[in-house]
């Protein structure tokens, strides 16, 4: 199971496109005919991972549904930057209702499609990590539990970005946010808190749960397309670095996602009916420092007044992920 | 649909919002010079032809290759491939097997009978090329393609120069050489064999040539002063190898001592081994100091060639020689130790390098000769207007590839000179250093090892030692290329732009930035695998 | 067809006749029987095509309705009290998006103290949400108003709450005329949405709107309710033509022609009031009644006209604006501004406190004699209240007021010794 990468064609499937692949093996994003579901002119920050991840995901869903797609969007950066009044970037039917109700709105849309016999029209809901793991969590769980025919896409940038970078239940330990400042004896976000929503989603026994990052488009597209081939409640959490909130260079967005995966800080896997069926292995394992150090939100961990013991704890988290999900190839480690 | 005021918006209308104004830096596409191209003495566009080979379009690959070098199959066998030493992939796993792909393309061309396109027009100018070695052939090829009438006058009975009379068959089968020479001649180049030029000025006058390119090589074996008995048989390496091409094979006896540490010494030793003799190479310095390429020494050792390092010949007798052991001083120079040894030797072959036969230049005004070689200006012209020279006879590294490069360069300048102008080479792009690449994106793939003939057959026959790649392995190898500094249409920029500000123009057409929306985040630059985009400050 | 049935069941049948396509529900007394009945109809295959969704909260119920309605499906839900408050954010959102959702509010008090019985505080708390609110006096009217509500909501593309008194109506068994399907079909055309999520013609719905247009959007919502003031009587008239019944409209008067004292109220209490008025009329008092059916939009002009010939009025309302007094009364006063009429506010029946004819009789007599204070808390147990106030003055840790009060009234000790 899992995405079967092309082993070798100069770049295999690591790059977005590959002129050497058979046309039917190529990615949606490499095509001139991709739908650009979020049109140019949106107001996301330079290098926004969420803008990118959303286009990746929605374009893939558009391709899989042959353009028969409706999206419900939670409040958050994505919603705000994509509808610069009086214009909209969206090229598909799209609705924004509230911060915490996107899954339920999507349920309503799916019900409407079902009752009207429009079985070809598919529904996605999407939101940030805050909208998903916190305020929208009740609606999300309800949608899961009823197994409503909705694909939920969570764009995880690990904080409430739209309101100015406050902590969410997806914020990693030690991270500085506007509400977990790097002060006091345990600077940054507390250890031992937070919510693993992919696993909670799995506990609902829904048909499909996956994680992905903007650093691996082919894997992301595969997962969206796979999810779109199924019916019932499906959940994909996409790791989308936020240059503004993380204090990283706008050109580093994809690299950060790559390092998160390669360090084991963000396990990339997929699960069906509550069981893990595939993991994206780490290709070149790196220590967590390499991932943490370029980010200003972790700056207080390093330097003369740094907190090496907290870095060690972060490494332990990564190691645990690696063990738990089997992120390293047997020989590789 | 009627759109309720304000809360319902038309799709995709954000195009009205020109986010390009946010930019402080703009990405621009550029081509950087791949290190392989930079290192190729023949100036091949390696990355360029690999690009076509990657998609299996071998003919196109061969055509791009031969724009700079007509001898693909020869190159793929005898070139010492400095390109591979420079190849960026060497820093990732191992360099691309450029040379083996080149050979594959050259062999494909022969197999499939691909021909060069005939010159479009004729200039009416006549150019004399003296010598049908690689330099002369290369110049003739380029000049012919430029529309000039070319005549090669060659002293020997066959074309090829050192490629035929130096490099042994087991490294360069003669059918391969013949095929590539013939293809050049098919362009309408006249080749006069057994036609030694004794006075260049006379020959030019006789043939009413407008210009000449001299490429007579370096064929006179250097001698060393070795005290020798009357019966001692001492010959030079070049004549031994030359006679291998004739009817009368050299008679050197069973025990053959080869004196020297260059490739020629190794070639001679391996050649006589194949003739049933027992060669011993005697060299005064150590293996790592030897000018021969290490892989050639290794192959020789595998085949049973003996080598005495740190030894000089003190005396040669009719059936033995005396050698003196040497030791390296602290500067790395060999110094005599006074320790002697006697070796059985039926003959001694001197492989100490070659000098140029400059007799054809006698009386030519304006020439400058230094250390036995003809000095040329950067445009390859000698001090005498209209007479150009290249290859082994001018100061340079003596390799087939350098010779070919000289031929090409000279042809361009001759062409310009004939038109009364001067040739201005295009400015070199900045180098595509390893640091400019994002190597994450390349698949892990180790170099393909070329097949080697088994040792028994190598010791007993002149069959080619190194095999070529087959279609699939050549394709694999070509696809290992990182395309340093040159877009290979991986679509990364097109994909990673969060603002859809990259326009994909379609296969073969590349990409364009849409500066109306590009916010200048730099993701495309960071994620371009091959370093074909850079950021430039926005003009204010 | 006449049926002896429970109010909730009758309403459920009326809803079903309106061919709703998506129903979502979360249980809360006294709304439960309505959605239970609908759920059963859908499950049994008697209501198709329709999706009945058991959501995890009222917030989700309204959100599902929003999605379904935006996707072009006729959507319905029902709630009450805490449930309505739990969905508030979505309630405003549905109105802001102009989605013609119909929701039954089985009116119930809001806690704390938690209380399941009837008053009007719940839907009145949503006065400014942008929803229209129609109050049913009887179960027959509840049935009829739902049918009219779908028509009106979809015409204007605005949501409507049909409010019916919890238990008093929802759980009452009465003889109710349930309309025929063909009647409803001829009154209520299929839903033709003004805006719809459709891949064939994509639009973005619910974008952020800044200061440049927000006022206008809000004004348009207001304008729609102003249009509703015109449409409601027309739709009621059309309803009468097809169903042969007077039902709905903006207001309804009773014995008002020569009335000097007018009693104003909403919902089922109008029945008790009318009975009281009958008694008082028999005694020769010039008293009449004004029932408000359309609380939002509030028919200012019609109310003013109905009160134009009286001398005084009493607004009897089942709601309290804490710290201020009446809620409906404020609107009525606004309607008669400048007329010099004497107006009284009577807060009654909060949390299900029975409103008896005897009490009303007394109250109206006092009003007639203009002896009432501006705000009257009808049947308030002053003794208990004063006791508690004293206690609170005496000790800081006086304990929870609600529990103290029950204790004082002897209810806890009676039950638990
Ligand atoms: C044994 C040996 C092995 C080698 N192996 C390699 C190798 O593996 N790879 C590599 O890159 N290089 C190798 N070299 C070096 C390489 O062969 C030469 O550098 C190269 O051939 C030089 O080319 P050229 O055209 O300048 O001269 P040549 O190849 O020497 O050709 C000169 C030609 O001019 C002709 N000529 C000479 N005088 C006259 C005249 N007066 N009139 C008319 N014709 C004349 C000669 O007959 C000859 O054909 C080797 C050299 C030797 C000796
Ligand atoms: C009910 C409610 N509470 C709070 C907010 C304010 N709010 C809007 S967006 C947002 C943060 C969104 O964070 P997240 O969901 O992670 O998305 P991001 O902006 O990071 O992409 C918050 C707190 C709101 N709109 N609604
Ligand atoms: S704050 Fe972060 S998530 Fe929001 S638009 Fe900027 S980069 Fe994107
Ligand atoms: S990887 Fe390709 S382009 Fe780069 S140096 Fe090697 S052969 Fe040349
Ligand atoms: Mg977030």
Which residues of chain C does B2 touch, with a Cβ-Cβ cutoff of 8 Å? 194-195
| Claim to verify: residue B403 and residue B514 sit in the same structural domain | no
Mind listing the pLDDT tens digit for each residue in A70-81? 999 999 999 999
What is the C-alpha to C-alpha distance for residues C208 and C219, in angstroms, rounded to an integer?
A: 17
* Domain housing B10: 5-31+487-537
Residue A332 has what pLDDT?
44
| Claim to verify: residue B328 and residue B236 sit in the same structural domain | yes
Closest-CA residue to C262 (of C286, C284, C282): C286
Q: What CATH code is carried by the domain that includes residue B19?
A: 3.30.70.20
Mind listing the pLDDT tens digit for each residue in A272-320? 999 999 999 999 999 999 999 999 999 999 999 999 999 999 999 999 9
Burial class of B46 by CB neighbour count within 10 A (0 to 12, 13 to 18, 19+): buried
Q: What percent of chain A has pLDDT over 70?
A: 98
Residue B439 lies in a domain: no
Residue B415 phi/psi, 5° resolution?
Answer: -55, -45
Residue B245 pLDDT exceeds 90: no
Residue B447 lies in a domain: no
Residue B438 lies in a domain: no
Residue B434 lies in a domain: no
Residue C405 has what pLDDT?
86
Residue A333 has what pLDDT?
39
| Claim to verify: residue B325 and residue B370 sit in the same structural domain | no
Residue C353 lies in a domain: yes
**Buried b / exposed e across C168-205, counting CB within 10 Å, b at 16+?**
bbbbbeeebbbbeeeebeebbeebebbbbbbbeebbbb
Residue C417 pLDDT exceeds 80: no
pLDDT band at A12 (very low <50, low <70, confident <90, very high): confident
Q: Are the C-beta atoms of residues C111 and C125 closer than 8 Å to each other?
A: no
Measured between CA atoms, the residue of chain C closest to residue A77 is C208
Measured between CA atoms, the residue of chain A closest to residue C64 is A108
| Claim to verify: residue B265 and residue B152 sit in the same structural domain | no
Closest-CA residue to B102 (of B142, B58, B134): B58
pLDDT band at B487 (very low <50, low <70, confident <90, very high): very high
| Claim to verify: residue C343 and residue C410 sit in the same structural domain | no
Residue C382 lies in a domain: no
Residue B200 lies in a domain: yes
| Claim to verify: residue B294 and residue B244 sit in the same structural domain | yes
| Claim to verify: residue B235 and residue B341 sit in the same structural domain | yes
Q: Is A167 an interface residue toward B (CB < 8 Å)?
A: no
Residue B8 pLDDT exceeds 90: no
| Claim to verify: residue C82 and residue C140 sit in the same structural domain | yes
Q: Whose CA is nearest to atom 13 of ligand 2?
A: A160
B153 CA closest ligand 1 atom index: 43
Quick check: CB of B392 below 6 Å from ligand 1? yes
What is the C-alpha to C-alpha distance for residues A1 and A12, in angstroms, rounded to an integer?
A: 18
Residue B437 lies in a domain: no
| Claim to verify: residue C105 and residue C184 sit in the same structural domain | yes
| Claim to verify: residue C118 and residue C159 sit in the same structural domain | yes
Across chain B, mean pLDDT equals: 94
| Claim to verify: residue B214 and residue B151 sit in the same structural domain | yes
Residue A1 pLDDT exceeds 60: no
Residue C229 has what pLDDT?
98
Quick check: CB of A77 below 6 Å from ligand 3? yes
| Claim to verify: residue C182 and residue C328 sit in the same structural domain | no
Which residues of chain A does B527 touch, with a Cβ-Cβ cutoff of 8 Å? 254
Put residue C290 in one of left, alpha, beta given phi > 0 → left and psi -120 to 50 → alpha: beta
What is the C-alpha to C-alpha distance for residues B293 and B80, in angstroms, rounded to an integer?
A: 8
Q: What CATH code is carried by the domain that includes residue B392?
A: 3.50.50.60
- Tell me if residue B497 falls in helix, strand or coil: coil
| Claim to verify: residue B229 and residue B286 sit in the same structural domain | yes
The residue out of C215, C243, C271 marking a domain boundary is C243
Residue C414 has what pLDDT?
54
Cis peptide before C113 (omega within 30 of 0): yes
Mind listing the pLDDT tens digit for each residue in B182-223? 999 999 999 999 999 999 999 999 999 999 999 999 999 998
Residue C252 lies in a domain: no
B88 CA closest ligand 4 atom index: 5
What is the C-alpha to C-alpha distance for residues B259 and B268, in angstroms, rounded to an integer?
A: 10
Give all domains of chain A, ordered by start, each with its CATH number: 23-332 (3.40.50.970)
Closest-CA residue to A52 (of A97, A86, A82): A82
Residue A123 phi/psi, 5° resolution?
Answer: -125, 130
- DSSP state string for B261-321: -SHHHHHHHHHHHHTT-EEEEE-SS-GGG-SS-HHHHHHHHHTT-EEE-SEEEEEE-SSEE
Residue A174 pLDDT exceeds 70: yes
Residue C360 lies in a domain: yes
Residue B39 phi/psi, 5° resolution?
Answer: -90, -15
pLDDT band at B224 (very low <50, low <70, confident <90, very high): confident
Cis peptide before A223 (omega within 30 of 0): no
Residue B16 pLDDT exceeds 80: yes
| Claim to verify: residue B287 and residue B297 sit in the same structural domain | yes
Residue B250 has what pLDDT?
82
Mind listing the pLDDT tens digit for each residue in C62-120? 999 999 999 999 999 999 999 999 999 999 999 999 999 999 999 999 999 999 999 99
The residue out of C210, C243, C276 marking a domain boundary is C243
β-strands B306-308, B311-316: how paired?
Answer: unpaired
Residue B505 has what pLDDT?
97
Q: What CATH code is carried by the domain that includes residue C208?
A: 3.40.50.970
Mind listing the pLDDT tens digit for each residue in B296-338? 999 999 999 999 999 999 999 888 999 999 999 998 889 999 9
Residue B228 pLDDT exceeds 90: no
Residue B6 has what pLDDT?
67
In this structure, what DSSP letter does residue C351 have? G
Closest-CA residue to B238 (of B278, B287, B284, B271): B271
* Cα B89 to ligand 4 centroid, rounded to whole Å: 6
Which residues of chain B does C201 touch, with a Cβ-Cβ cutoff of 8 Å? 1
Q: Are the C-beta atoms of residues C203 and B3 closer than 8 Å to each other?
A: yes
Query: For B416-430, what is the mean pLDDT?
Result: 95
Q: Whose CA is nearest to atom 30 of ligand 1?
A: B217
pLDDT band at C415 (very low <50, low <70, confident <90, very high): low
Task: Give the number of domains in chain B.
Answer: 4
Residue C194 lies in a domain: yes
> Which mutation among B132, B137, B158, B166 tests ligand 1's pocket best, with the greatest number of atoms within 8 A of CB?
B166
Put residue B250 in one of left, alpha, beta given phi > 0 → left and psi -120 to 50 → alpha: beta
Choose the weakest-confidence range: B355-364, C101-110, C159-168. Answer: B355-364
| Claim to verify: residue C285 and residue C367 sit in the same structural domain | yes
- Helix count (H) and strand count (E) of chain A? 11, 8
| Claim to verify: residue C52 and residue C111 sit in the same structural domain | yes
- Ligand number with the minimum distance to the CA of A78: 2
- The Cα of A90 is separated from the nearest Cα of chain C by a number of Å equal to 7
| Claim to verify: residue B215 and residue B360 sit in the same structural domain | yes
The residue out of C243, C274, C290 marking a domain boundary is C243
Task: Give the number of domains in chain C.
Answer: 3
Q: Whose CA is nearest to atom 4 of ligand 3?
A: A77
Which residues of chain C does B4 touch, with a Cβ-Cβ cutoff of 8 Å? 98, 157, 194-195
What is the C-alpha to C-alpha distance for residues C204 and C191, in angstroms, rounded to an integer?
A: 20
In this structure, what DSSP letter does residue B77 have? H
Helix (H) or strand (E) holding C183: helix C181-187
- Tell me if residue C348 falls in helix, strand or coil: coil
| Claim to verify: residue C209 and residue C284 sit in the same structural domain | no
What is the C-alpha to C-alpha distance for residues C204 and A96, in angstroms, rounded to an integer?
A: 8
- Tell me if residue B535 falls in helix, strand or coil: strand
| Claim to verify: residue B231 and residue B345 sit in the same structural domain | yes
Residue B449 has what pLDDT?
86
Query: For B156-179, what is the mean pLDDT?
Result: 96
| Claim to verify: residue C315 and residue C286 sit in the same structural domain | yes
Non-local CB neighbours of A61 within 8 Å, separated by 6+ positions: A69, A122, A124, A151, A224, A225, A228
Residue C347 has what pLDDT?
98
Helix (H) or strand (E) holding B58: helix B58-66
Among candidates A40, A56, A253 on the partner chain, residue whose Cβ is nearest the Cβ of B15: A40
* Domain housing C404: 391-416
Q: What CATH code is carried by the domain that includes residue C285?
A: 3.40.50.920
Q: Whose CA is nearest to atom 9 of ligand 2?
A: A76
Residue B262 lies in a domain: yes
Which residues of chain A does B9 touch, with a Cβ-Cβ cutoff of 8 Å? 83, 85-88
| Claim to verify: residue C157 and residue C51 sit in the same structural domain | yes
Measured between CA atoms, the residue of chain A closest to residue C214 is A85
Residue C298 lies in a domain: yes
- Give ∠ CA B65-B69-B75 in degrees, rounded to 5: 90
Half-sphere exposure of B371 (CA within 13 A, CB side): 6
| Claim to verify: residue B368 and residue B409 sit in the same structural domain | yes
| Claim to verify: residue C14 and residue C54 sit in the same structural domain | yes
Residue C195 lies in a domain: yes
pLDDT band at B4 (very low <50, low <70, confident <90, very high): low
Residues making up chain C, counted from first to last: 417
| Claim to verify: residue C199 and residue C276 sit in the same structural domain | no
In this structure, what DSSP letter does residue A24 have? G
Residue B445 lies in a domain: no
- The Cα of C87 is separated from the nearest Cα of chain B by a number of Å equal to 21
What subunits touch chain C, counting only 3 or more CB pairs under 8 A? A, B
Q: What percent of chain C has pLDDT over 90?
A: 95
């Amino acid at each position: 199971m899992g995405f079967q990468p092309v082993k070798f064609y100069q770049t295999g499937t690591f790059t977005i496109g590959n002129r050497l692949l058979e046309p039917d093996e190529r990615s949606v994003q490499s095509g001139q005919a991709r739908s650009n579901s979020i049109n140019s002119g949106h107001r996301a920050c330079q290098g926004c991972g969420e803008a990118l991840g959303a286009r990746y995901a929605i374009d893939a869903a558009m391709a899989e549904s042959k353009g028969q797609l409706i999206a419900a969007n939670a409040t958050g950066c994505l919603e705000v930057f994509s509808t610069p009044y009086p214009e909209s970037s969206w090229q598909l039917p799209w609705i924004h209702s509230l911060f915490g109700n996107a899954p339920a709105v999507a349920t309503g849309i799916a019900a409407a499609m079902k009752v009207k016999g429009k079985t070809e029209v598919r529904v996605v809901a999407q939101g940030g990590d805050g909208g998903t793991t916190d305020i929208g969590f009740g609606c999300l769980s309800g949608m899961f539990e009823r197994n409503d025919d909705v694909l939920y896409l969570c764009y995880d940038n690990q904080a409430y970005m739209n309101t100015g970078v406050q902590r969410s239940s997806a914020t990693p330990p030690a991270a500085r946010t506007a509400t977990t400042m790097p002060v006091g004896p345990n600077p940054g976000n507390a250890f031992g808190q937070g919510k693993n929503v992919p696993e909670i989603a799995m506990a609902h026994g829904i048909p499909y749960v996956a994680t992905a990052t903007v650093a691996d488009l082919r894997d992301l597209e595969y997962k969206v397309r796979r999810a779109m081939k199924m019916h019932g409640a499906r959940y994909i959490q996409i790791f989308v670095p936020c240059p503004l909130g993380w204090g990283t260079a706008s050109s580093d967005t994809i690299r950060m996602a790559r390092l998160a995966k390669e360090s084991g800080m963000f396990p990339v896997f997929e699960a069906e009916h509550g069981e893990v069926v595939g993991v994206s292995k780490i290709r070149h394992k790196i220590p967590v420092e390499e991932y943490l150090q370029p980010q200003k939100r972790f700056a207080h961990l390093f330097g003369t007044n740094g907190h090496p013991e907290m870095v060690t704890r972060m490494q332990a988290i990564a190691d645990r992920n690696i063990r738990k999900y089997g992120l390293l190839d047997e020989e590789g480690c | 649909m009627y759109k309720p005021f304000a809360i319902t918006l038309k799709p995709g209308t954000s195009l009205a919002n020109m986010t390009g104004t946010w930019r402080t830096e703009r990405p621009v596409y550029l081509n950087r010079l791949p290190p392989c191209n930079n290192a190729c003495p023949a100036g091949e566009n390696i990355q360029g032809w690999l690009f076509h080979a990657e998609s299996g379009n071998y003919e196109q690959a061969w055509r791009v290759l031969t724009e700079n070098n007509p001898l693909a199959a020869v190159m793929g066998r005898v070139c010492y491939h400095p390109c591979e030493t420079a190849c960026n992939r060497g820093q990732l796993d191992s360099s691309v097997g450029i040379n083996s792909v080149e050979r594959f393309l050259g062999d494909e061309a022969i197999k499939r009978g691909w021909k060069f396109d005939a010159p479009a027009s004729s200039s009416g100018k006549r150019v004399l090329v003296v010598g049908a070695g690689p330099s002369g052939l290369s110049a003739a090829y380029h000049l012919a393609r430029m529309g000039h009438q070319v005549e090669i006058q060659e002293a020997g009975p066959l074309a090829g120069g050192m490629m035929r009379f130096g490099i042994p068959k087991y490294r360069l089968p003669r059918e391969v050489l013949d095929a590539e020479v013939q293809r050049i001649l098919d362009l309408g180049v006249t080749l006069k064999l057994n036609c030694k030029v004794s006075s260049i000025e006379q020959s030019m006058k006789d043939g009413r040539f407008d210009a000449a390119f001299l490429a007579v090589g370096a064929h006179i074996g250097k001698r060393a002063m070795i005290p020798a008995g009357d019966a001692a048989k001492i010959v030079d390496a070049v004549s031994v190898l030359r006679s291998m091409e004739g009817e009368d094979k050299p008679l050197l006896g069973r025990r053959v001592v080869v004196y020297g540490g260059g490739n020629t010494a190794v070639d001679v030793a391996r050649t006589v081994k194949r003739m049933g003799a027992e060669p011993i190479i005697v060299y005064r310095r150590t293996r790592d100091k030897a000018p021969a390429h290490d892989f050639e020494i290794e192959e020789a050792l595998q085949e049973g060639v003996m080598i005495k390092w740190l030894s000089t010949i003190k005396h040669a007798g009719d059936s033995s020689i005396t050698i003196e052991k040497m030791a390296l001083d602290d500067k790395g120079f060999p110094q005599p130790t006074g320790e002697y040894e006697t070796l059985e030797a039926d003959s001694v072959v001197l492989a100490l390098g070659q000098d140029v036969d400059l007799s054809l230049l006698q009386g030519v005004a304006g020439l400058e000769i230094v250390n036995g070689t003809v000095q040329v200006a950067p445009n390859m012209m000698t001090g005498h207007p209209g007479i150009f020279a290249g290859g082994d006879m001018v100061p340079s590294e003596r390799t087939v590839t350098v010779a070919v490069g000289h031929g090409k360069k000279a042809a361009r300048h001759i062409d310009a000179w004939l038109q009364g102008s001067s040739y201005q080479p295009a400015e070199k792009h900045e180098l595509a250093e390893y640091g400019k690449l994002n190597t994450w994106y390349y698949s892990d793939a180790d170099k393909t090892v070329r097949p080697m003939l088994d040792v028994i057959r190598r010791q007993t026959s002149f069959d080619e030692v190194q095999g070529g790649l087959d279609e699939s392995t050549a394709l694999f190898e070509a696809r290992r290329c990182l395309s340093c500094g040159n877009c290979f249409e991986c679509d990364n920029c097109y994909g990673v732009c969060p603002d859809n500000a990259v326009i994909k123009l379609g296969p073969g057409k590349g990409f364009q930035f849409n500066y109306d929306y590009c916010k200048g985040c730099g993701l495309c630059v960071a994620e371009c695998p091959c370093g074909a985009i850079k950021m430039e400050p926005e003009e204010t | 067809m006449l049926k002896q049935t429970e109010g909730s069941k009758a309403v459920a049948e009326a809803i079903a006749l309106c061919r709703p396509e998506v129903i979502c529900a979360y249980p809360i007394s006294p709304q439960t029987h309505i959605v239970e009945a609908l759920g059963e109809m859908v499950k049994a295959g008697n209501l198709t095509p329709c999706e009945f969704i058991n959501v995890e909260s009222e917030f989700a119920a309204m959100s599902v309705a929003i999605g379904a309605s935006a996707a072009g499906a006729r959507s319905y839900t029902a709630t009450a009290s805490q449930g309505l408050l739990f969905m508030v954010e979505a309630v405003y959102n549905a109105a802001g998006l102009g989605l013609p959702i119909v929701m039954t509010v089985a009116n119930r008090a809001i806690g704390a103290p938690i209380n399941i019985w009837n008053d009007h505080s719940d839907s009145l708390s949503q006065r400014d949400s942008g929803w229209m609110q129609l109050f049913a006096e009887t179960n027959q009217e509840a049935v009829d108003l739902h049918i009219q509500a779908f028509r009106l909501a979809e015409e204007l593309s605005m949501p409507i709450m049909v409010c019916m008194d919890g238990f008093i109506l929802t759980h009452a068994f009465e003889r109710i005329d349930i309309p025929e399907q063909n009647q409803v079909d001829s009154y209520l055309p299929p839903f033709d949405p003004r805006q719809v999520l459709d891949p064939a013609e994509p639009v973005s719905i619910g974008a952020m709107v800044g200061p440049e247009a927000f006022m206008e959007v809000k004004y348009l919502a207001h304008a729609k309710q102003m249009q509703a003031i015109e449409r409601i009587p027309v739709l009621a008239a059309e309803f009468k033509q097809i169903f042969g019944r007077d039902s709905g409209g903006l207001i309804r008067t009773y014995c008002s022609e020569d009335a000097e004292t007018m009693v104003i109220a909403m919902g089922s209490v109008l029945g008790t009031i009318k009975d009281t008025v009958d008694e008082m009329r028999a005694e020769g008092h010039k008293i009449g009644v004004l029932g408000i059916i359309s609380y939002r939009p509030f028919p200012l002009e019609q109310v003013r006209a109905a009160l134009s010939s009286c001398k005084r009025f009493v607004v009897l309302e089942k709601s309290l604006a804490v710290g201020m007094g009446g809620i409906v009364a404020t609107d009525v006063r606004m309607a008669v501004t400048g007329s010099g009429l004497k107006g009284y506010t009577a807060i009654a029946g909060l949390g299900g406190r029975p409103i008896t004819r005897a009490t009303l009789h007394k109250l109206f007599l006092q009003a007639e004699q203009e002896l009432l204070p501006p705000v009257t808390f009808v049947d308030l147990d002053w003794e208990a209240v004063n006791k508690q106030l004293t206690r609170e003055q005496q000790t800081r840790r006086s304990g929870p007021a609600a529990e103290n009060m029950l204790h004082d009234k002897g209810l806890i000790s009676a039950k638990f010794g």
